[in-house]
Amino acid sequence: MLRIETMSGTAPEIAPEIAADAGPLRRCIATERSLPPEQLIRFVVAPDGSLTPDIDRRLPGRGFWLSADKDALEKAMAKNSFARAARRKIDVPQDLPQRLQSLLLHRVLDTLGLARRAGQAVAGHDKVQEFIARNGAGVMLLATDAGNDARNRGPGMARGAPVIQVLDAAELGAAFAREQAVFAVVAPGKLAQRLTIDSARLAGLRGLPTAPREQV
């Protein structure tokens, strides 16, 4: 489950400083809601007519947008929304949900790996506590399959920083070259911001709730 929370329990899904740079809103082809690009996934059509996800929003050509949400994706596939948006026949792979999740998971793990190699991220309970005491936290990660004790301690350890739950212990550990990890932290900065955005998109596609959890 993705949870983005602070000690007050009122943190938004995307931090205000990130939303301020979101730029023009885009309309989702499934829900028709207008949202910041960071909350959607862009698609383009390849020359062979295949649907191509543009996770980084950099591919050339006319793009169309879909909310990073499991229900929106299922609706778009069922109602042929991609072809209508592109105004042409499109080859939409049946495993598109799995492909999108894989792409975003890879991006999240790459960001964590980059932060680790730059000395901006660590994993493990004691290392996380020491890191936060020295550097503060841009975002803390807590494994989705963490036990109740870890879930209860997480927000206090974060010292007011957002706490994200979208990766299980094996996935979180993979980013730090270890078998499993329950806790991880990323220093304040652009990598933490990118991780927050991509984690929210991954959670939406996994059908996980994104509302902050009540603090106790």
State how far the Cα of 21 lies from the Cα of 38, in Å rounded to an integer. Answer: 10
Residues 183 and 116 in one domain: yes
Write out residues in the chain with pLDDT < 70, as ranges. Answer: 1-23, 209-216
User: What confidence score (pLDDT) does residue 7 get?
Assistant: 35
Residue found by looking up tokens 């309309």 in the block: 27
User: What confidence score (pLDDT) does residue 155 get?
Assistant: 87
User: What confidence score (pLDDT) does residue 61 get?
Assistant: 87
Residues 144 and 185 in one domain: yes
Residues 179 and 129 in one domain: yes
Question: Distance between the two ends of the chain, CA-based, in angstroms?
Answer: 18
Residue 14 lies in a domain: no
Let me know: does 34 contact 25? Beta carbons within 8 Å: yes
Residue 141 lies in a domain: yes
Residues 105 and 191 in one domain: yes
Let me know: does 49 contact 58? Beta carbons within 8 Å: no
Residues 76 and 155 in one domain: no
Range of the structural domain that residue 49 is part of: 22-94
Residue 211 lies in a domain: no
State how far the Cα of 91 lies from the Cα of 48, in Å rounded to an integer. Answer: 9
Residue 215 lies in a domain: no
Residues 124 and 191 in one domain: yes
Residues 130 and 197 in one domain: yes
Structural domains in the chain (count): 2
Residues 108 and 184 in one domain: yes
How deeply is 72 buried, as exposed, middle or buried, from its count of CB atoms within 10 A (0-12, 13-18, 19+)?
buried
Residue found by looking up tokens 């399959």 in the block: 145
Residues 141 and 69 in one domain: no
User: What confidence score (pLDDT) does residue 210 get?
Assistant: 56
Residue that finishes a domain, picked among 52, 73, 94: 94
Residue 17 lies in a domain: no
State how far the Cα of 153 lies from the Cα of 116, in Å rounded to an integer. Answer: 23
State how far the Cα of 196 lies from the Cα of 39, in Å rounded to an integer. Answer: 11
